[in-house]
Structure 1
Amino acid sequence: MAEKPDYEGLVSYLMKPFLDSPEALKTDIERVTGKSRVTLRVAFSPEDRGRMFGRGGRNIQAIRTVLQATAALYDERVSLDVYGESAHKSRNDDEGGGSRRRRPPRRGGDRPAPPRKK
């Protein structure tokens, strides 16, 4: 095994398939000596944010899990920070809009509801 893992190469390998603009991916690594602690910082195009994070943050969490498993092999701890717009910012914040309301589910028009099972 290598003496130290290539975290930047691993992050690039894992993230680029999700990005429409892979050339916009920027990475920075900070190693804290003595504590075996690694901090990775990434930035990418704001347009790729939805695909990168995935539904419910599943994609980014999977990448973090792979990084943590790799770090555990080398007795290190790793954290991944994503830079850019706030993760909780909605589209309406820029337009001065209020909160979004969900529409109730549609009924089948004139069709009666299906019979219930007993």
Structure 2
Amino acid sequence: MADLTEDLAGLTDAIVRPLVDEADELDITASETEDGNIIVEIRVNPEDAGKVIGRQGRVIKAIRTLARAAASRSGKLVDVELID
């Protein structure tokens, strides 16, 4: 399952990196929780947070939807969080 977490981190990176101005401050980590779910954490420059969230949260919702769809075959639940 480590491959899945790495794949989800890569997918999230590919989506978020073009959105932010400070790409060198972008940090994406994916880890598996005790109950087997996967958490993807996105850390960006505070000025770029609005770009990742989008208007009314549309961009972050779309990122979450894509990550969940990518993991759907494995039966794992995925949560994508933007960390302040």
For residues 70-97 of structure 1, what are the alpha-carbon distances to aligned partners after superposition, in whole Å with 9 as ceiling and x for unaligned?
111221111011111xxxxxxxxxxxxx
Query: Which residue number corresponds to residue 27 of structure 1?
Result: 28
For residues 88-109 of structure 1, what are the alpha-carbon distances to aligned partners after superposition, in whole Å with 9 as ceiling and x for unaligned?
xxxxxxxxxxxxxxxxxxxxxx
Query: Which residue number corresponds to residue 72 of structure 2?
Result: 72
SS at match of 2:3: coil
- Mind listing any 5+ residue stretches in structure 1 that lack a counterpart? 85-118
TM-score computed with the length of structure 2 as normaliser: 0.86
Query: Which residue number corresponds to residue 18 of structure 2?
Result: 17
- Give 1:36 shift: 3.2
Following the alignment from structure 1 to structure 2, what is the Cα–Cα distance between the partners of residues 51 and 81? 14
- Give 1:4 shift: 3.5
Query: Which residue number corresponds to residue 82 of structure 1?
Result: 82
Q: Which protein is richer in helix relative to its size? A: 2
SS at match of 2:68: helix
Greater than 6 Å deviation, 4+ residue runs: none
Following the alignment from structure 2 to structure 1, what is the Cα–Cα distance between the partners of residues 39 and 47? 24
Larger radius of gyration: 1
Query: Which residue number corresponds to residue 44 of structure 2?
Result: 44
- State how many pairs are aligned: 82
Following the alignment from structure 1 to structure 2, what is the Cα–Cα distance between the partners of residues 56 and 64? 14
* Letter in structure 2 aligned against 1:14: I
TM-score computed with the length of structure 1 as normaliser: 0.63
SS at match of 1:4: helix
The answer to whether structure 1 residue 4 and structure 2 residue 7 are counterparts is: no
CA contact (8 A) 1:36 1:75 kept: no
- Give 1:13 shift: 0.3
